[in-house]
Amino acid sequence: MNSTAVRANRRRLMLLAVLALLCAAGYLLVNTDPGNARLFAYSMKIRAPKLAAMALTAVSIGGASIVFQTIINNTIVTPCLLGMNTLYTLIHTAVVFFLGSSSIVASNANLAFGVDVILMGITATLLYGWIFRKTKHNVLYVLLVGTVLASFFGSVQTTLTRVMDPNEYDALLSSLVASFSNINSEILLFSALLLAGVAFALRRELALLDVLTLGKEQAINLGVDYDRCIRRLLLGVTLCIAVATAMVGPISFLGLIIANLSRQLLRTYRHSQLVAGSALFGMAVLVGGQLIVEQVYSYAVPVSVFITVGGGVYFLYLLVARKKV
């Protein structure tokens, strides 16, 4: 990639950063009264944790989506195919079904987050690590197994909701949809530390992403332990999605949208730029969407609904555009 293209991408990233900052500033300041110190401080106390949660979600899902697409070698896949979203809904449904909505596991946000992260983390580490070894490090088999597991988790969850008490089901519904309206600020720091720990543990593998883009044979010829690298990256992707999902709920198609927008804007193989672009796009989409949800729809519709509808349309566009090429 020549120096002119590198400078052009840097300018695009700067413009994206400015857009994300403008969205963040608009979200924090719209309909507030800076002249009233107490009212302004109260507004910041409510909005700042939401903004932090949106930033963490954008970074984790945006980065994980770019890495996952590189592992699979396909730009129209999304990490939700690994089944973490449906596992999250199954966990919450099972807790309410067997323990009740008034149980401490269901009513305590910190405990519920811990249960989500632990169960999804254990599932990712044991199940996908074992499957990856059993399939002789074939990522396509892992993707197929993840799709089947997602269907299985969804079927079990649907069965439980059909026989569940209607009052319990009403209490469950709010936790099954991703929302930034009621963010537990106590888990934000823990989520950030978890994501930072995953990134630090995978720092060597992340540095090799540009080489992995060349393909398995070329990467091995360049001295990369391809199977080990792919296995660790796959587990890292699953853990990042697990943390983001446990923090705010399942957001289907967000990774597909922001990862492909980043690739279309930057048109580079450098993953440092792609990940940064994906995270910034994620920040703009989430903050802008949440601003519309709060100021236009008065919390009547969660932002995940807009993302799911827009993501479905964008996915169809990607399929048609690829077929034309």
Q: pLDDT value at position 209? A: 93
For tokens 């924090």, what's the residue?
28
Q: What is the DSSP letter of 208?
A: T
Does the pLDDT value for residue 319 go beyond 60?
yes
Confidence of residue 83 (pLDDT cuts 50, 70, 90): confident
Domain CATH number, residue 261 = 1.10.3470.10
Q: Is residue 247 helix, strand or coil?
A: helix
The pLDDT > 90 percentage for the chain reads: 38
In this prediction, residue 324 has a pLDDT band, given cuts at 50, 70 and 90, of low
In the chain, how many domains are there?
1
User: pLDDT value at position 2?
Assistant: 67
DSSP state letters, 258-324: HHHHHHHHH--S-HHHHHHHHHHHHHHHHHHHHHHHHHTSTTSS-HHHHHHHHHHHHHHHHHHHHHH
- Burial string for 83-111 (b: 16+ CB within 10 Å, else e) reads bbbbbbbbbbbebbbeeebeeebbeeeee
Taking CB atoms within 8 Å and a gap of at least 24, the contacts of 215-221 are: 215/73
Query: For residue 41, what is the enclosing H or E element?
Result: helix 37-72
Q: What is the pLDDT of residues 217-226, one digit of tens each?
A: 899 898 899 8
Is residue 112 assigned to a domain? yes
Which is higher by pLDDT, 198 or 185?
A: 198
Domain contains 97:
yes
- Among residues 319, 322, 287, the alpha carbon closest in space to that of 306 is found at 287
Helical ranges in 100-138 per DSSP H? 104-107, 109-122, 129-134
- The answer to whether the beta carbons of residues 12 and 265 sit under 8 Å apart is yes
How many Å apart are CA 92 and CA 105, to the nearest integer?
Answer: 9
pLDDT at 54: 94
Residue 61 confidence (pLDDT) above 80: yes
Range of the domain at 98: 49-324
Mean pLDDT over residues 151-158, rounded? 92
Residue 281 falls within a domain, yes or no?
Answer: yes
Of the spans 69-83, 238-252, 280-294, which averages the highest pLDDT?
A: 280-294
pLDDT level of residue 22 (50, 70, 90 thresholds): very high
Counting every residue written for the chain, the total comes to 325
For residue 13, is it within any domain? no
Please indicate whether residue 130 or residue 228 has the higher confidence score (pLDDT): 228
Quick check: 36 and 166 in contact, CB under 8 A? no
What pLDDT, in 10s, does the model give residues 115-124? 888 888 888 8
Is the pLDDT at 323 greater than 70? The verdict is no
Residue 157 pLDDT greater than 80, yes or no: yes
**Does 15 have pLDDT greater than 90?**
yes
Share of residues in the chain with pLDDT > 70 (%): 98
Residue 198 belongs to a domain: yes
In this predicted structure, what is the pLDDT of residue 14?
95
Q: How far is CA 174 from CA 27, 170, 171, in A?
A: 23, 8, 7
Amino acid at 49: P
In a domain, 288, yes or no: yes
- Strand segments (E) across 94-247: none
- The per-residue pLDDT for 26 is 92
Q: Is the pLDDT of residue 318 over 80?
A: yes
In a domain, residue 69? The reply is yes
Given a cut of 80, whether residue 48 has pLDDT beyond it is yes
Mean pLDDT of the chain: 88
10 inside domain: no
* Residue 308, pLDDT score: 84
DSSP state of 135: T
pLDDT of 325 > 60? The answer is: no
